[in-house]
Structure 1
Amino acid sequence: MSRKTALIACTDLSGYCYGEQHPFKVQRYRLARDLMDAYGLLNLPAMAEVRPRAVTEPQLLGAHRADYLERLREFSAAEEPRADFRYGLGDVENPVFPGVYDWACLGVSGTLEAARLVAEDGFAAAFNPLGGYHHAQAGRASGFSYLNDAVVAINYLLEQGKTVVYLDLDAHHGDGVQNAFYGDDRVLTISLHESGVYFFPGTGFENETGEGAGRGYSVNIPLLAHTDDALFMKAFDEVAFPLIAAFDPDVLFTQLGADTFRTDPLTRLEVTTHAYSYIMRKLRALEIPWVAVGGGGYDQMNVARAWTIAWGIMNDRELSPRLPARFVELISQLGYPHRMLLDAMHWAEEDDRNRALDAVEKSIAYVRDHIFPVLIGDYGKRYRT
């Protein structure tokens, strides 16, 4: 039996816009799909491109308060600009635009469908690039996120009796997902992100390890500016990978934000396609049913590269590092020079890089001392010696 994969298709997104000056650009989804198509990744024999069914009100209420959903729908239908900062709506970060509720539901519906395909229909992997809104809280919007698609989908997986690892590779801490499952030992949340000491959302420190039944099931590796490929892979190899393997979940759920790349205008990490590809291959090798969503990424070209790499690896396809000629022609017509698709060559000063290394080693040591004994017992002791 062939290994089935699914790419969640979305409707025309041209009617949605956060604003011309806002860093979140809806066009990145089209660029990612165009690049996948140029590599021949949209007509693979064992893949399906699936349009999701709509998320229901009870499913949303499992993750969000009724009063917040009511206000979001109200503002979405309003003809004049609206704002309510109690709900995080209408500021520069989370603008209210016509159809914002429908926009948010598209992401949730797609991620929920990806989870259903994996849990019920036997798909080995399902990818919803339009998901990954990990900052949305139960009662407010946050960090460009209005509805938390991961929380809704993981709630569904738990209802199916599944255990879940949620791995967040976005440059920003996955605070909304961590908060939702902070006391739940059926969900192991792992987040590798830029340190909240100086960076949004100001959370995700090593000592945030869960509470009650979930104590030890929340794992954070905060990274300093100038964390590069080697350090990012070190954090993954020494913390994330052994914990995923030891927890051995029924479903692996990954948030694949591409704002860790060194070209991203909002972050100060220095990851490239090398580390990104390496981690995707390691996750694929685990052979765990895999739900993946998009996330952050504000250099649109590198978002397209990252998600195309991920989709290729999910389908066991080797991609040429040379971009397809028709994609290069397309982006040239859109005003993007070919060089914009290359990894930027800015390297950290030695002192900055050493500080980043010290921070990674400190975080790894904390997790080994406080998390490994809870989750993997004697296996953890071997990692601490």
Structure 2
Amino acid sequence: MPARTALIYSNDFARFSYGDDHPFKIQRFILAFELMRAYGLMELPNVKILDCPRAAEEALLTFHAPDYLDRLREFSESDDARADFRYGLGDLDNPVFRGLYDWARLGAGGTIEAARLVAEEGYDIAFNLAGGWHHAHRAKASGFSYLNDAVVAINLLLEKGLRVAYLDIDAHHGDGVQEAFYDTDRVLTISIHESGMYFFPGTGFEGETGTGAGTGYSVNIPLVAHADDALFMKAFDEVAFPLLAAYNPDVLVTQLGADTFRTDPLTRLEVTTHSYTYILRKLKALGIPWVAVGGGGYNLVNVARAWTLAWGVMNGVELPPRLPDSFVSIIGRLGYPNRMLLDAMHWAQEDDRNQALDAVERSIAVIRKTIFPVIIGSYGETSGE
């Protein structure tokens, strides 16, 4: 039986901008939506396209500090150049612009709605394109993120008595989400990301395993530059998948950032759509109610491709590699040449690739020693298949 799925989207996304020179472009959501439509993924019988509501402050206060929300609201109502570095506002990463708070509440509200649909209305999968703001802290913006939608949505799931697993495959460590649940065993957080040794946010090492009741429930697999599809899948198959299967949560929340791709201008990983869709298919096979959110990604066409492929997997549709002519026409008018349509081929040198392999094998060995006895020992053996 086909999965009952919901895609959360808003035409209001086009009203906002981080600025012409900022690497984060809201246009990527529009391109992803148009590509899904061009492939016919909006007309499937079990699919609902639902509007993205703004998050209520009551929900935001389950994580964020009241004074921080007050400052976001204040800055959002002015066209003046403003900054408050105590709250991470007004620097190059986190600019202040009119409507900022509305924008942040829109993204957070979509993830809250996705969680509600899964927890209350029986949807198998709900996907909020404009979610995935995993760097936002309780009282500080960070890494383009103002409100941590995943944390707020997970808090609401916890209030319903549900256990949650959070998997983050963005190139950047999901530090804000890890921080929020570092001391609880009701949320298992797993992040596969580029190593913080030389990369923002400088966290996400194997030794960050949680504290108190949460010891063993924080899992990090840092990848070094040039880690490719095989290594990405190895990290998932040998760590993330067996832990998810053993923990067997009531709800799975995933951050599906596409900045791990070879073409991304801000990262140094070598992932393609091959490993990305491989992981998504295995997640769907778990059969766990699934809340998915977007995340990073700065090559706009490949972000659209990634999230469209994800939506295809969620709905059991295998998409052809050739982009629909109508979409090619759209991106052509935006100035994207045809060579942008495929994954870039800049294979790593053999020595660099071997170093990446050694690093991931060391990480896996550490995690198997420190984390597996806690999770698999507590929730039962799993084959990992």
- Residue by residue over 1:336-360, the C-alpha shift from the partner in whole angstroms, topping out at 9 and shown as x without a partner, is 1121011101011111101100100
Looking at structure 1, the residues matched to 278 and 365 of structure 2 have their Cα atoms a distance apart, in angstroms, of 23
Aligned residue for 1:123, secondary structure, equals coil
Distance 2:13 2:249 in 1: 34
Q: How many residues align?
A: 384
Contact 1:5 1:315 in 2 (8 A): yes
Q: Which moves more between the two structures, 371-380 or 254-263?
A: 371-380
Query: In the alignment, which residue of structure 1 is the partner of 2:121?
Result: 121
Distance in 1, matches of 2:7 and 2:25, equals 20
Matched-pair contact (CA < 8 Å) for 2:2–2:316: no
In structure 2, the residue corresponding to 1:42 is in which secondary structure?
coil
Task: Tell me the SS of whatever aligns to 1:213.
Answer: helix
Give the secondary-structure state (helix, strand or coil) at the position aligned to 1:14: helix
My pick for the range that moved more, 192-201 or 7-16, is: 7-16
Give TM-score scaled by structure 1 length.
0.97
Corresponding residue for 2:253?
A: 253
**1:17/1:332 CA distance change after superposition, 3 Å:** same
CA gap of 1:79–1:305, structure 2 versus 1, over 3 A, is: same
Q: Normalised by the size of structure 2, how large is the TM-score?
A: 0.97
Cα 1:95–1:133, aligned 2, differ >3 Å: closer, same or farther? same
Q: 3-state DSSP class of the match of 2:40? A: coil
Q: Partner amino acid for 2:335?
A: G
Structure 2 alignment gaps of length 5 or more: none
Deviation at 1:86, TM superposition (A): 0.6
Q: 1:266 to 1:85 in 2, by over 3 A?
A: same
Give 1:40's aligned residue: 40
* 1:269-348 mapped onto 2 (5 Å cutoff): 269-348=269-348
Equivalent-residue separation in structure 2 for 1:329 and 1:164 (angstroms) = 41
- 1:255 touches 1:293 (CA, 8 Å); kept in 2? yes
- Does the 8 Å contact 2:54/2:107 carry over to 1? no
Q: Deviations over 1:302-337 (max 9, x none)?
A: 000000000000000010111111111221122111
State the Cα distance separating 1:2 from its structure 2 match.
5.2
Instruction: Give the RMSD, CA atoms, in angstroms.
Output: 1.5
Structure 1 residue runs of 4 or more that deviate by more than 3 Å after TM superposition: 378-383
Letter in 2 for 1:295: G
Q: Which ranges in structure 1 are unaligned for 5 or more consecutive residues?
A: none
Q: Match for residue 106 of structure 2?
A: 106
- Give the alignment of 1:80-229 within 5 angstroms: 80-229=80-229
Name the amino acid aligned to 1:178: Q
Q: Distance in 2 between matches of 1:327 and 1:158?
A: 40
- The alpha carbon displacement at 1:52 in A equals 3.6
**2:261–2:269 CA contact under 8 A, matched in 1:** yes
Instruction: Note the alpha carbon deviations across 1:151-198, whole angstroms, 9 max, x for none.
Output: 000000001111111000000000000000000100000000000000
In structure 1, give the amino acid aligned to 2:104. A
State percent identity of aligned pairs. 70
Alpha-carbon deviations, 1:274-297, whole Å to 9, x = none?
000100110011111000000000
Equivalents in 2 of 1:144, 1:94: separation in Å? 5
- Cα drift, residue 78 of structure 1: 1.6
Deviation at 1:255, TM superposition (A): 0.0
1:61 is aligned to 2:61: yes
SS of residue in 1 equivalent to 2:110 = helix
State the shift of 1:221 in Å: 0.2
CA contact (8 A) 2:110 2:130 kept: yes
Distance across 2 between alignment mates of 1:382 and 1:104: 39
Query: C-alpha displacement at 1:380, in angstroms?
Result: 8.7
- Cα shift at 1:79: 2.5
2:246–2:382 contact (8 Å) kept in structure 1 = no
